[in-house]
Amino acid sequence: MNLTNPDYSRYKLVREMMQTPDIIRRFDPQAAEEFASAPGASGRLFLTGEGSSRIFPAKRAMYDALKSGDALAIATDGATQALEYDLSDYTVFGASNSGKTKEVVRLFQKLKSSGHKAFFALTAYKDSPLDRLACATHVLISGREEAVAATKTVVEQALFYDSLLRKLRGRPMASLKDLADKVEEALTVKIDPEVVSKARNASMIYFAGRNTGVAEELTLKTNEITRKKADFLEGTYAVHGIEEVMSPGELVVVVEPFESEEEKFRQCLVDGVGLAVIAISTRNTSFPTVKIPEAGDYRSYVEIAAGWNLLVEIGIALGIDLDKPERARKVGNIYQEG
């Protein structure tokens, strides 16, 4: 992506993506402090929301907690399914950029009526339905998004959960300046035209990788940005049966491939099916690779930025209006007051 080029800068989606590094730089590492010590809060967290407000922020937090060996218990599901859960011993966070997502509002109504003492909102809008129901609200500094596909707010929501987990662990959040620079690098790195061409011509795009929310979120963004069908293949699922129905005209994007499984992907998918495989990785892989800088515990933020970059390039190559999907809406299911 290149904001000096009007082919890119005319799109709200691209401009909002490119605001993300500055949002990271401005993020307050202490943002979650009051929520970590709020009355009724516990070390059992339930992180909910719909679509982008849940996939990357919640799943990245779960992965981080498990990798760190935390005693924290973190769970996530959509808010409608959560209506069936006993959340009385959980601290609940509901993320909704608009604060009007019907499913999350409905869950918060149930929590309030049951006397729950620790359910909190993440939203860009003060005095929204979700804000009025929640015990407390963190208002996102990223503000309003105009593009249908959520981008900058997804990263800020994830940073908030990152701040929360680190506060609960008693570990400080490191400076985010370096992360912001690396995210900016991933957003602007030149992607090989041959890679873009393979993706542009693919009849279906699969995203494979760790269950950190990155590959799954990029699957959703593929639908919204490129209008192509896409699917998320968790871990090594891509070589455990689905290859039976894959076709040579399809593409697999592997996010930071497991090095030990790379040859198996080649045997099953490239040699066996005849489809194309590309990678987003901090290292050179045996596949055409979008190379990104290493960012340690924050690597997933850089991965998602590189994925956005790739999807924008595909959309530009297809001549798509990136800001105007035909059916997708900014708020998928809006709560109607009154």
What CATH architecture is 28-169? Answer: 3-Layer(aba) Sandwich (3.40)
Q: 254 exposed, middle or buried (CB, 10 Å; 0-12, 13-18, 19+)?
A: buried
| Alpha carbon of residue 16 to chain centroid | 15
Q: Phi and psi at residue 254, in whole multiples of 5°?
A: -100, 125
Distances (CA, A) of 33 to 28, 116, 138: 10, 20, 11
Domain spanning 177-318 has what CATH number? 3.40.50.10490
Say yes or no: do domains 28-169 and 177-318 share a fold. Answer: yes
Distance, CA of 27 to CA of 24 (rounded, Å): 5
Question: Structural domain boundaries of the chain?
Answer: 28-169, 177-318
Q: 67 exposed, middle or buried (CB, 10 Å; 0-12, 13-18, 19+)?
A: exposed
Query: β-strands 205-209, 91-95: how paired?
Result: unpaired
Look at residues 233, 25, 235 and name the one whose alpha carbon lies nearest to residue 141. 25
Global pTM? 0.94
Per-residue model confidence as pLDDT tens for the chain (338 residues):
888 899 999 999 999 999 999 999 999 999 999 898 876 666 799 999 999 999 999 999 999 999 988 878 899 999 999 999 999 999 999 999 999 999 999 999 999 999 999 999 999 999 999 999 999 999 999 988 888 888 999 999 999 999 999 998 888 888 899 999 999 999 999 999 999 999 999 999 999 999 999 999 999 999 999 999 999 999 999 999 999 999 999 999 999 999 999 999 999 999 999 999 999 999 999 999 999 999 999 999 999 999 999 999 999 999 999 998 766 655 667 656 76
